[in-house]
Amino acid sequence: MGMDRTIKKKKFTPKKIAVYGSALIFILVMVYLFAFKMTKSTLNVERDRITISEVTWGPYQDYIPIMGEVLPITTYYLVADDGGRVEEIYMEAGGPIQEGEKILKLENTNLLMTIMWREAELFQQSNNLRNTRLQMEQYRLGLSQQLAQAESQLQQQKRVYERYKVLHEDNLISQHEYELAKDEYEYLQERLELTKESQKNELAFRQQQVDQLERSLERMQNNLEVVMEKQENLTLRAPISGHLTALNAEIGQSKNPGERIGRIDVMDKFRVRADIDEYYIARVEKGRTGTFPFAGQDYKLQVRTIYLEVQEGKFQVDMYFVGDQPEGIRRGQTLHIRLELGDLKEALLLPRGGFFQTTGGNWVYVVDKSEKFATKRNIRLGQYNSEVHEVLEGLEPGEKVITSSYESFGDMERLVFK
């Protein structure tokens, strides 16, 4: 009887081979796809050609850099109020001037003619007033004589009436004679009262005419004084002591009314006028301060006046020195000012750089801790000044970010440093 043989079980059946083969192919495909994707979204960059900055926690001051021009704190513009032809020039621009000193003289023919006409009119009106007063005095004298005569007649008739009254009571005269005397007396009484009332009204009317003439004469005198003052003002004098900075006038030149002829500056104190982009018009407030370097020292300015009129995309502010102004500062100098727009606060800060032009602050390349590569990450930035951005989301203190330009990186997810 023969011995039985043990048949060994096969380890790799066709079924197992098919399963393992499929898994291997899947893994190879995934490795290939991953490697292909990594190759496609990875870019090699030279480290010495990029700028890497660290995210820090520290004080943040919102400010903008602006340019300011030094101007005198007090400026007076010389204006030709009535205009005229330049007749004489007493001073030249560029030197000091004292209050009251003559600068130039204008000649205005129309003004001279006006003065002559007003003087003649005033003379005529003065004569009219004098004649009217004389006539009034003569009339008043005539009225006095009339009144005296009427009173005399009344007095005489009163004596006749009183005598006739006694005779009538004694029946020595007739009733008719008595009544005639009585009627005449009463008539003269009434006539005297009417004469007084008439004279009173007539004198009041004539006095009113005199008053009107006096007021008219006073107005003419005032008008003449105004015109004479204008004539006097044709000689321009320095209203303040200072520096005659500009004088635009030549002998024989005509100046229109209201035209600026020159400028006087008070040079002992200065202010600074700055142009600011209209984007910041709602954030610049009175009292905001700015600093600028001068001769190795920082000085402070404060916004006092804001001119809200926008021209060519800019508005202007006037700033005044806080404390002492710099020694040696001159009119017309340009100052580089850091104007504060907000209060000092603590914030997460990222240095500014060319990356912002590409990403708009929505994402950055963050350097890995190994510092061999950097990957793209979404972030959110807030306010910024000329040095740093305020980081609101997406970064932590101590992390490092590529802050130079991203223009050559395309849309890569990862940058590998060479």
Predicted confidence pLDDT, tens digits, the chain (418 residues):
444 555 555 555 666 666 666 667 666 645 544 444 445 488 999 998 999 999 999 998 888 899 999 999 888 899 888 888 898 999 888 888 999 999 999 888 888 888 888 888 888 888 888 887 888 778 888 888 888 888 888 899 899 888 988 888 888 888 998 899 899 988 988 888 888 888 888 888 888 888 888 888 888 888 888 888 888 888 889 988 888 988 988 898 888 888 889 999 888 889 999 999 998 898 899 999 999 999 889 999 999 999 999 999 999 999 999 988 898 888 889 999 999 987 788 999 999 999 999 999 999 999 999 999 999 999 999 888 878 999 999 999 999 999 999 999 988 999 999 8
Q: Strands of 235-237's sheet, edge to edge? A: 235-237, 102-107, 84-89, 254-255
* pLDDT of the residue at 15: 64
pLDDT tens figures, 181-196 = 899 988 988 888 888 8
Residue 98 has which token pair? 């004292």
Distance, in Å, from the CA atom of 78 to the CA atom of 235, rounded to the nearest integer, reads: 11
Distance, in Å, from the CA atom of 304 to the CA atom of 271, rounded to the nearest integer, reads: 10
In degrees rounded to 5, what are phi and psi of residue 304? -110, -40
* pLDDT of the residue at 366: 96
Give which of 287, 357, 281 is closest to 320, Cα–Cα: 287
Distance, in Å, from the CA atom of 359 to the CA atom of 406, rounded to the nearest integer, reads: 8
Give which of 409, 323, 334, 336 is closest to 374, Cα–Cα: 409
- CA quadruple 13, 19, 23, 24: dihedral sign: positive
Distance, in Å, from the CA atom of 50 to the CA atom of 351, rounded to the nearest integer, reads: 14
Do 376 and 365 contact (CB within 8 A), yes or no?
yes
* pLDDT of the residue at 411: 84
Residue 396 has which token pair? 């932590």
Write the class of the CATH domain 269-340: mainly beta
* pLDDT of the residue at 37: 45
* pLDDT of the residue at 278: 92
Can you give the C-alpha Rg of the chain in angstroms?
A: 53
Q: Could you identify the residue written with the tokens 């979404």?
A: 378
Residue 142 has which token pair? 């005539």
Quickly list DSSP for 167-205.
Answer: HHHTT-S-HHHHHHHHHHHHHHHHHHHHHHHHHHHHHHH
Give which of 401, 412, 415, 394 is closest to 354, Cα–Cα: 401
Residues 6+ apart with CB under 8 A from 77: 260, 262, 263
Topology given in CATH for the domain delimited by 43-62+345-417: 2.40.420
Helix (H) or strand (E) holding 337: strand 334-340
Buried b (16+ CB within 10 A) or exposed e, 58-69: eebebbbebebe
In this structure, the strands spanning 289-294 and 334-340 are antiparallel
Residue 319 has which token pair? 């700033």
For residues 91, 96, 97, 98, the Cα torsion angle rounded to the nearest 10 degrees is: -150
Give which of 311, 314, 309, 317 is closest to 284, Cα–Cα: 317
Give which of 34, 50, 31 is closest to 415, Cα–Cα: 50
Instruction: Tell me the CA end-to-end span of the chain in Å, nearest whole number.
Output: 79
Helix (H) or strand (E) holding 210: helix 175-233
Distance, in Å, from the CA atom of 373 to the CA atom of 417, rounded to the nearest integer, reads: 5
Q: Could you identify the residue written with the tokens 């600026």?
A: 260
Write the class of the CATH domain 74-108+234-255: mainly beta
In degrees rounded to 5, what are phi and psi of residue 78? -85, 125
Q: Could you identify the residue written with the tokens 């006092």?
A: 304
